[in-house]
Structure 1
Amino acid sequence: MAIGLYIHVPFCLQKCNYCDFISYPYDVDLAASYVYALEKEMALHTVNMRSDHRTVKSIYLGGGTPTVLTGEHLTAILDYCRSYFTLTADAEITVECNPGTVDSAKMVEIRKAGVNRVSIGVQAYQQKMLSRLGRIHNWREVVEAARSCKEAGFDNLSFDLMFGIPGQSQKNWRETLDRVIELTPQHVSAYNLKIEPDTPLHRDVVSGYLVSCDEELELEMYWYAIDFLTGHGFTHYEISNFAQPGREARHNLIYWNNEEYLGLGPAAHSMMNSHRFSNLESVELYINRLNKNESVIHKLNSLTREEQISETVFLGLRLISGLDLTAFEQRYGKSFSELFGDKIKKLTAQGLIEIEENRVRLTAKGLPLANEVFAEFI
C-alpha cells in the first residue's frame, strides 16, 4: 500500500495575523535539534511501515515555513525519508515556501535533493492586503521566488491565494488573479479566508478596527475565480483547487480520497490502520522525547466504521468529480443509497447534490453550501 507522508516544519520568521497553526520563531540551533529529532521519529516508524509493506507515494513539507530551514537541513530531511521509508519511483515531493524565505541557491539545492513541486504562499497582490494578513513578503519577492524556482528546474508550481480578506474589493481580487496568471503556475489554490478565534486578525475584527468581508462579495469572488481560472486552462477539481491537466496535488488527493497518511513533526496528524493520531505540539518536548527514543504521539483515536464512512463521504464530496459510488460500495460492503437513501432524496430535492455516471457530487448550487451538505453525513 502506498501512503502519503506529511512533515510539519514548525518554524516561521513571523506568524501571520490569520494563522492558528502550531509554529514557533525560527532559531537556527532549535531547528537543527528538530531535524535531528525528526530522523529519530522516522526510525520509530520504519519497522511498522516496512512490515506492513507500505511505500510512500508523496511527501509534503508544510508548516510553519519549511523554507526558513537551510538547504542543507531540507536535503537532510529528504535523505532521511529515503533511508527509513521506501519511496515510489514517481513520488510527488512538495515543499511549501514563503516568498520572503526563498533564494536561488536554496531552490537549486532542494531541486537536486528531489523536491519536484513547490507551493508558494502568495495570498494577494496588493501590499495593503499582504500587510493586513501579516505576510513578510511583497509582490516583487513573489516574482523573484517564481523565477528562482523555474531557473532551478521546477516545472510544477502551485500558488496559494486568499479572498474574503477584510477590506479586499472585487477589483483587488481580479488584479491578484491577473498578476498570478502572468507567472504561469501549474496549480492554484483559492481559499476563502476564515478568521480564526484568538488570532490578531480576529481581534481586529472584534474590536471594529477591521470589518469582515461581506458574504455576497465573497461568493462573487469565488465564482469569478472559477470562471477566470477555468477560462485560462485550469481544471476546477476540488472546491478550492485548480490545476493544469495532470498537475492536481497528488498529496492532497490522498486526504480527499480518505487514504492513509503518516504525519511527522510537532503537532502533525496521521491516519493509519483506522486510527487517527497526532503528535505533541511543543517543539521542545518533541525533541526531548525523541532524544530518549520515546514516542511523541499525544492523542490516539480509533475510528468506528461509521466515522470512516462519514469522512469518506464528505471528503470525497470536496472533489468536483465527486465520490465514486462503485469504489465506496467495494470499500464498505454497502451501497451509498442503502446507507443514505433519505439524505440523498433530501439533498437532491434541494438541488445541492446530483448522481451521474455512478458518482455523487455537489451541484453548482451546492458548492458554496458545501459545509451544510457535509453536515448531513456527519
Structure 2
Amino acid sequence: MNVTAVYIHIPFCHEICHYCDFAKMYYHEAIADQYLESLNQEMGMYVENKPIAVRTVYIGGGTPTSLNPKQLERLLETISTYINIDQVEEFTIEANPGEFVEDHVKVMKAYGINRVSLGVQVLDNDYLKQLNRHHTVEDVNQSVKLLQEYDLTNISMDFIYSLPGQTLDHFKNTLKQAIAYGLPHYSSYALQIEPKTVFYMRYQKGQLHKPVEEVEAKMFTTLIDVMEENGLSHYEISNFAKPGFESQHNLTYWANVPYYAFGAGAHGYLDGYRYVNLRPVNHYNDRVIKGEKPILHQEQVTLKEKVEEELFLGLRRRSGVSNCHFQEKFGFSMYEIYQDTIDYLLKKDWVYVKEDTVAMTRNGMMFGNEVFSEFLIDDHIWESKLSIDSHKGV
C-alpha cells in the first residue's frame, strides 16, 4: 500500500463559527492534553515501522493554532515520531489570523511546516462578527506579516462568498483586498447552510437570507476572472494558485488515492476502505485508551464506487479526467460506461472533451453536484458491463 498523504484533525476552537459543521469543541487545556496523547496512540496503531515516508501532511480542524505553543510542539513531536518530516514535501497547518503568536511560528519552523492555510473568510470586520469570527482585518495583516518574517511565505487564504446580505460589489472588494496580499494560493467557497449550525437554525426561522442564485453565480464567475487576471490558475473548482503552489495534499484527495487520517471525526482511505473516526472527543479518547482504533464506521469501496469516485473527484480539477489514466487504473475505457453521459453533458455545455480528457466547463462548475450525479452508474448498466467482461475473460 503506497500511502503518500496524512491528515491530522485538531478539533479545538476558542470560538465556534456560525456556519461550521466540522468536528469541533471549545478549547480546554486538559482535554487537549489528553487528546494529543490519544493521537499519539492512534498513530502508533497504524504506523508500525516508523518513521514512514510521505509527500504531504495536513493539520486541519477545528483550529490547530488553538493549541498553545507547548501543545503544538508536542503535536509536531508526535508527528515527527511516526513520519519522516525531512522527506515531507508539503507540510500544511490551518491557522486563524490573530490567534497564533511568534512562539507558534517558531515551533512551526522548527518542525518543517512550510505551508499555512489562513481561515480569513471575509475582509470586513462587520461580516466577521456576523460569522462569529473573532479576528479582525488588522489581525489578518499582522498574521501575514509575522509568517513572512519567518520566511513562511507559502500562505493560502480561505474565503466564503454568498454570505447573508452580501452584494456582488462587496465580494469584489474582498477579492481586491485579498489579491493585494500577493499570496500564492487562495481558496473560496460559497456558503453552505449546514444542519446543526447557528446559521441553519436562523435559516429555518426565516432570519437568514443568502443572495439569490443569479448573484451567487456572478460571484463565482467574478472570482475566477479576478484570480486569473492576477496570474492565479483555477486548478480546482474552489482553488487558485500561482504555478507550482497548488495544494499537493488536496490533489491527493482529488486523485482518488489512499491516505491516512488521524483524530476525532477524521475521514481516511486505506486498503480499499473508507473510514470515519468517532467524532466526539471524549468517545474518541475512550476508544483509544482501550487500545482500539477509534473508527466509527468503515466501508469497503466496491469497484463500481471507485469508478464513480474517479469521476466525482477528478472532475473537480480543471485538468479533468484522462481516459488513458482511467484505463490504466481500471483496465477499461470510461467511454464503455459513460459515453451517453458525456454526450448529454456536452450538449448542456457542462463538460468539454480535449484529446483523451473530459473536464468541466465554467458553466458545469456552477452546477457541479448535478454534473457529478450524472456519473452515478445505473445498476443494470454496471451488471451488463460485468457480464460482458466475464464473457471476454476479463
TM-score of the alignment, normalized to the shorter chain, above 0.5: yes
**Over aligned residue pairs, what C-alpha RMSD do you find?**
1.5
**Structure 1 position 13 matched with structure 2 position 49:** no
Q: 2: CA distance between counterparts of 1:84 and 1:293?
A: 18
- For residues 249-288 of structure 1, the aligned pairs below 5 Å read 249-288=247-286
Partner of 2:26: 25
Task: Indicate conservation of the 8 Å contact 1:126/1:172, yes or no.
Answer: no
Partner of 2:381: none
After superposing the two structures, state which structure 1 stretch, 94-103 or 186-195, moved more.
Answer: 94-103
Partner of 2:220: 222
- For residues 42-61 of structure 1, the aligned pairs below 5 Å read 42-47=43-48, 55-61=53-59
**Structure 1 position 234 matched with structure 2 position 214:** no
Partner of 1:295: 293
Residue type of the alignment partner of 1:28: E
Q: 1: CA distance between counterparts of 2:98 and 2:18?
A: 16
After superposing the two structures, state which structure 1 stretch, 361-370 or 309-318, moved more.
Answer: 361-370
Task: Indicate conservation of the 8 Å contact 1:57/1:87, yes or no.
Answer: no
Using the aligned pairs only, state the percent identity: 35
Q: CA deviation at 1:74?
A: 2.1
Partner of 2:389: none
Match of 1:361, SS state, is strand
Aligned residues: 375
Residue type of the alignment partner of 2:54: V
Match of 1:110, SS state, is helix
Q: 1: CA distance between counterparts of 2:33 and 2:53?
A: 27
Task: Indicate conservation of the 8 Å contact 1:57/1:88, yes or no.
Answer: no
Match of 2:367, SS state, is helix
Q: CA deviation at 1:94?
A: 0.5
Q: For each residue in 1:11-46, what CA deviation from the matched residue of structure 2 results, as whole angstroms up to 9, or x when unmatched?
A: 000110001111011001111111111111111001
Q: 2: CA distance between counterparts of 1:100 and 1:60?
A: 21
Partner of 2:390: none
Residue type of the alignment partner of 2:37: Y
Q: 1:112 aligns with which of 110, 113, 123?
A: 110
Partner of 2:198: 200
Q: 1:187 aligns with which of 185, 188, 196?
A: 185
Task: Indicate conservation of the 8 Å contact 1:162/1:193, yes or no.
Answer: yes
Q: For each residue in 1:194-245, what CA deviation from the matched residue of structure 2 results, as whole angstroms up to 9, or x when unmatched?
A: 1112211122222222212111111111111111111111000000100011
Q: For each residue in 1:291-341, what CA deviation from the matched residue of structure 2 results, as whole angstroms up to 9, or x when unmatched?
A: 232221111100100001100111000001111221110000010111211
Q: 2: CA distance between counterparts of 1:247 and 1:315?
A: 20
- Gaps spanning 5+ residues in structure 2: where? 377-394
Q: 2: CA distance between counterparts of 1:305 and 1:206?
A: 39
Q: CA deviation at 1:3?
A: 1.9
Q: CA deviation at 1:282?
A: 1.7
Match of 1:320, SS state, is coil
State the TM-score, normalized to the length of structure 1: 0.96
Q: CA deviation at 1:81?
A: 2.1
Q: 1: CA distance between counterparts of 2:74 and 2:87?
A: 19
Task: Indicate conservation of the 8 Å contact 1:16/1:134, yes or no.
Answer: yes
Task: Indicate conservation of the 8 Å contact 1:7/1:263, yes or no.
Answer: yes
Moved over 4 A (4+): none
State the TM-score, normalized to the length of structure 2: 0.92
- Gaps spanning 5+ residues in structure 1: where? none
Q: 2: CA distance between counterparts of 1:40 and 1:258?
A: 27
Cα pair distance change 1:375/1:107, threshold 3 Å: same
Task: Indicate conservation of the 8 Å contact 1:121/1:161, yes or no.
Answer: yes
Q: CA deviation at 1:121?
A: 0.4
Task: Indicate conservation of the 8 Å contact 2:322/2:357, yes or no.
Answer: yes
Q: 1:136 aligns with which of 129, 134, 137?
A: 134
Task: Indicate conservation of the 8 Å contact 2:54/2:88, yes or no.
Answer: no
Cα pair distance change 1:61/1:283, threshold 3 Å: same
Q: CA deviation at 1:357?
A: 2.4
